[in-house]
Copies of this chain bind each other. A is one copy, B any other.
């Protein structure tokens, strides 16, 4: 088992990573302060892992709230359902919410925990690679508004994150690859050695070799933790985590969040960020090729489909701009392993990158 601590003073917490951790009662016993637990999961995950988790929690008074699977249930209404259950079950401030599932379950459960009686404990048991390497660290919780993703939320740190790598065995290949996009991102934004390690180990990763996967997760969580510890409430440095995301969000928005998974859009966004960095003279042709190649080996798309409209994509980025107080910010790379924030890049360069991406010529 690998372990790291996210060091946030009084809000510090451990992340445990390893095979079959769902069957380790002592990990849960340490993380859960009271007797009562409400497990939040969905109807796709429950048949797979709920029974074994309940067996592990035999010494607790565990109740279960099963929601339908899907991003469309990441809503205030679902949070309300959780609050209804907590109140009906007489859960007091000593209760613990336990999120068993992917990012939707994790974000929703964290938000429900943040607001129940002004804040109760929660423990993350992420079951997708994306949730394991992304939402495990950072304390961002929230739900969607009909007009915007994650518009309603809170910063609320979990008491512990327990990552059972066995849960990845049931993950669809496309979902697994989507998680790898974020893993590769950590190499690109701050750690050239890790990027090299990923290049050397992509076959074992794609074969889901448990030790290699655990090491990739641990490294990703550690990379994110370093950034979050320096900037808990997202005032500055944390913006670097958005590498690939300004482009990625625009792609998701133009395709109404339907055609691509978030990680897939991020993968395309990373290639576009690399291309823009090259046009700015910050990255060379060979590096752009390495980035594109590694994403492809991870089973990820590197370009949007040719039917995408470049003006629509640019407009979507400008909408992002409006919400950021008039400034468009893109994270670019100065060599592999070093990211920086660029404010208001030349629109001409952006257009070139977008056109090249759509043409598949990056």
Which residues does A use to contact B, with CB under 8 Å? 76, 80, 83-84, 87-88, 90, 92-94, 111, 114-119, 140-142, 145, 147-148, 151-155, 233-234, 322-325
Contacts and interface: CB of A to CB of B under 8 A. Distances in A.
Contacts of A116: 151-152
A151 B325 CA distance: 34
Contact of A87 (B92, B93, B145, B233): B145
Contact of A153 (B88, B115, B323): B115
8 residue pairs, one from A and one from B, having the closest CB atoms: A118-B153, A87-B147, A115-B152, A92-B323, A92-B325, A118-B155, A94-B325, A118-B154
Is chain A's interface secondary structure helix, strand, loop, or mixed overall?
A: mixed
A239 to B, nearest CB: 13
B119 A155 contact: yes
A83 B152 contact: yes
Nearest to A319: B90
A145 B145 CA distance: 20
A115 B115 contact: yes
Contact of A151 (B87, B94, B114, B323): B87
Nearest to A234: B118
Given A94-B325, A325-B94, A154 B87 contact: no
A96 B116 CA distance: 24
A178 to B, nearest CB: 24
A148 to B, nearest CB: 6
A118 B119 CA distance: 14
Contacts of A118: 140-142, 153-155, 233-234
Nearest to A86: B151
Given A83-B145, A90-B323, A118-B233, 20 more contacts: A76-B76, A84-B147, A87-B148, A87-B151, A92-B323, A93-B325, A94-B325, A111-B115, A114-B154, A115-B115, A115-B152, A115-B153, A115-B154, A116-B152, A118-B141, A118-B142, A118-B153, A118-B154, A118-B155, A154-B154
Contacts of A92: 322-325
A44 to B, nearest CB: 27
A94 B327 CA distance: 13
A83 B325 contact: no
Nearest to A152: B115
Contacts of A115: 111, 115, 152-154
